[in-house]
Amino acid sequence: MRICLCALLAVLVALSAAAADVSGKWSGSYTFESGDGGACFMVLKQNGADISGTAGPGEDQQWAIQNGKIEGSKVTLEVKSPDDGTVYKLELPFWPLTP
> Is 43 inside any structural domain?
yes
Number of domains in the chain: 1
> Is 57 inside any structural domain?
yes
> Is 67 inside any structural domain?
yes
pLDDT above 70: residue 85: yes
The 10s digit of each residue's pLDDT in 35-73 is 888 898 999 999 999 999 999 889 999 999 999 999 988
> Is 31 inside any structural domain?
yes
> Is 15 inside any structural domain?
no
Q: What's the pLDDT score for residue 96?
A: 62
Judge residue 35's burial from the number of C-beta atoms within 10 Å of its C-beta, 0-12 exposed, 13-18 middle, 19 or more buried: exposed
The total of other beta-carbon atoms located within 10 Å of residue 87's CB is 10
pLDDT above 80: residue 21: yes
| Residue 79: domain span | 22-93
> Is 62 inside any structural domain?
yes
> Is 74 inside any structural domain?
yes
pLDDT above 70: residue 86: yes
Alpha-helical segments (H) within the chain: 2-18
> Is 81 inside any structural domain?
yes
